[in-house]
Structure 1
Amino acid sequence: MQRRKTRPIQIGEVTVGGNAPISVQSMTNTRTDNVQATVEQIKQLLTAGCDIVRVAVPDINAAEAISSIKSLVDVPLIADIHFDYRLALTAMERGVNGLRLNPGNMGDHEHVTAVVKEAKKRQIPIRIGVNAGSISKELLAKHGGHPTPEAMVESALSHIRILEKHNFNDIKISLKAHDVPLTIRAYQLMSETVDYPLHLGITEAGTIRSGVIKSAVGIGALLAQGIGDTLRVSLTGDPVEEVRVANEILKSLGLRQYGPTLVSCPTCGRCQINLVDIAEMVDDKLKSFKNPITVAVMGCVVNGPGEAKEADVGIAGGKGEGLLFRKGEIIRKVPESELVTALFAEIDKLDKEVNE
């Protein structure tokens, strides 16, 4: 698919926009001034495949903690700030790589000027983030009293113009709503209006069960149109799951290779092994592997190796036993109780081959 052309910005060592790969972001849910807890969670996010991490900066203690966090992890860090320009200045002084703030919410012109001057000096990009619930009353009234794609774009543009008047163009934009069609149309409109990189997401998507579906549909639809340069899957719960889902979305569209891909059949009346438990066990154990291999867990020895012949390695069930195969070629029969062990012994071999 052909991606929409955007101007690149630099967030630490990660390029966003231009021809750069689409990056995955997440946000810690620890208290930022609890440095130990925040660093531990960031390390978990990095292990899961996160490229950029955002932290909440609600007060001066959080802003001042950024330097300590930066000294302990090697990842671009974005400070999420609302209203108080002094927190933005402190975060930049402490080494943050990006800001998430809306200049129109910062009050005095002098406050905006001070933040932009420091961001320019340190080459720190700013993300303009508009949510459907944050549109001003005036704009809502203008657009019929409720959030519309046009109102969201107009709201974002009002903040963008403030930065542009200060000759500041290291900008990326997000336009999020929990309503998927609203979000999709807002991003489409914005992509037709400016060439700034776009940060994709469905905000307040919900728990893993509903949030994964809404995020996959919304973010996936935009990516399939070539729209989007970086993304976050917003889920209620452990942010590590956000990263895993984001990578799966990118992998499903052929936009990223990261970690194993599991192929497993939906089961049918021919299945004579406990395929559900086996597939879940394999899926869980694969989380510790990083190489982009394809692993198949199939329920039927009749079709399994054939249907999954493109998989690097896999198993196909029979009655109390199964077949272990690589690239569709059968290696041997294995008792059902030993299938997972045999599979991962073969995965370990393959992993070593890939690394050599």
Structure 2
Amino acid sequence: MKDYRKKLKRDVRVGKIGIGGNFPISIQSMTNTDTRDVSATVNQIIKLEEAGCEIVRVSTPDIESAKAIKAIKEHVNIPIVADIHFDYKIAIEAIKNGADKVRLNPGNIGSAEKVLEVVKVAKEYCVPIRVGANSGSINKKYEHLPKIDALVESALDEVRILEKAGFCDIVISLKSSDVLETVQANRKIHALVDYPLHIGVTEAGTLYNSLIKSSSALGTLLLEGIGDTIRISIAGDPINEVITAKKLLTFLKIRKGVDVVACPTCARTNFDVEEVALEVEKFLSNIEEDITVSVLGCVVNGVGEAKDSDVGIAGVKDGIAVFYKGEIIGTYQKEKAFEILKEKIELIIKERRGDK
């Protein structure tokens, strides 16, 4: 797959996942459960992992939440990142209880001595630290600067605090709720440091707003070789974050995946294109092969529209026509058409993997 990153960055290890260097771009999300509720948090993480999440962040507003990480890790497989604010003792407790990375801003946890305490434990447990800034946490001494410069300088201040303490196992994140600010700030920090970058649009909003904002910003950055791990922030169910991130990386040809091509609906359609396309997407969601599937509401353009697809279906008056490698292989009722569609996709996968 393509990797647009132009220069080799440092890398860090977050549990079994590598970020930066030659490691593939990873997908992150965050739970919205009370971390102290171990059962609810575990259940949500398992669902996120099944959807394709590779690193998950949990809120740790207190010591009890930090201690809960130990119990959570007994039931999940993906790395856990502890989200820390203000209290350095929570960061230390989270690391000791198995957090694979901590997210904090050294500048807001107090004195240099407190930062040193966190660094000491992070070094002992080989746990990286994510630092940075977003549009809501700019250092006051940089408020007079243009927003882009203020974001970058605020993040660099956090990095310098850790470097001064002898710690360089760092991931940097610069986020804004504004698309252009996010893009420009990450371009600038990318040119200045060789630390891995976590990219995303913060407070991107509900589904539609986030899809547009995040795709615009992250798509631009990734195609410029900027970004080593991503989160697409969406208000609501975090599963949507993972699904969207997977699709973005697939459509940018950064990782393998299925592309379901569906026609815009019109009066000629012989079935509900949206409903059928969503159903097809659902049963193909975990396939990690480059396969293009067409869902066409009619056969007006038929093989013409489907000729570049590996397999596809089109609505006809008496059922659903199935296309395979640009040719119609038959017309069937819906259940049978789906059955044959799945069979052909499995055949394509076996052929590409060299299976007999």
The runs of 5 or more residues in structure 1 that have no matched partner are: none
Query: Partners of 1:292 and 1:77 in 2: how far apart?
Result: 29
In 2, Cα distance between equivalents of 1:272 and 1:73: 44
Matching residue of 1:299: 297
What does residue 145 of structure 2 align with? 143
Alpha-carbon distance between aligned partners in 1 of 2:11 and 2:266, rounded to the nearest angstrom? 48
Matched residues in 2 for 1:169 and 1:309: separation?
Answer: 51
Whether 2:61 is the aligned partner of 1:58: answer yes
For the Cα contact (< 8 Å) 2:322–2:329, is it kept in 1? yes
RMSD: 2.0
Cα distance between partner residues in 2 of 1:238 and 1:105? 29
1:28 to 31, 54, 57: 31
Q: Which residue of 2 aligns with 1:178?
A: 177
What is the CA deviation profile of residues 187-231 of structure 1, one whole-angstrom value per residue up to 9, with x for unaligned ones? 011011111111010011011121111111111110011100000
Q: Does 1:3 align with 2:1?
A: no
Match of 2:234 in 1: 235
Amino acid in the other structure paired with 1:244: I
Number of residue pairs aligned between Structure 1 and Structure 2? 351
Any idea what SS the aligned residue of 1:32 has? coil
Aligned equivalents of 2:349, 2:57: Cα separation in 1:
32
SS at match of 1:287: coil
- 2:4/2:222 contact within 8 Å kept: no
Aligned counterparts, 1:217-256, within 5 A: 217-256=216-255
TM-score (norm 1): 0.92
Secondary structure of residue in 2 paired with 1:223: helix
Q: Distance in 2 between matches of 1:38 and 1:291?
A: 30
- 1:76 matches 2:74: no
CA spacing shift, 1:99–1:319, aligned 2, 3 Å: same
Distance 1:330 1:223 in 2: 38
2:44 counterpart (41, 44, 61)? 41
Cα distance in 2 for partners of 1:277, 1:159 equals: 48
The Cα of 1:287 is off from its aligned counterpart by 3.2
User: Which residue matches 1:280?
Assistant: 278
Could you list the runs of 5+ residues in structure 2 that have no partner in the other structure? none
Report how far residue 336 of structure 1 moved: 5.7
Residue 192 of structure 1 aligns to a residue whose secondary structure is: helix
Per-residue CA shift, 1:229-258, capped at 9, x if unaligned?
A: 000000001111100100111111100114
Query: Structure 1: which 4+ aligned runs deviate by more than 6 Å?
Result: 352-355
Any conservation in 2 of the 1:273–1:320 contact (CA below 8 Å)?
no
Cα offset for 1:261? Answer: 2.2
Cα 1:161–1:238 change in 2 (3 A) is: same
- State the Cα deviation string for residues 155-190 of structure 1 (Å, max 9, x = none): 000110001111211111111111000110000110
What is the CA–CA distance in structure 2 between the aligned matches of 1:334 and 1:106, rounded to whole Å?
64
Displacement after TM superposition at 1:45 (Å): 0.7
Question: Following the alignment from structure 1 to structure 2, what is the Cα–Cα distance between the partners of residues 220 and 143?
Answer: 27
**In 2: Cα distance, 1:208 partner to 1:316 partner:** 29
- The SS at the match of 1:324 is strand
**Residue number in structure 1 paired with 2:320:** 322
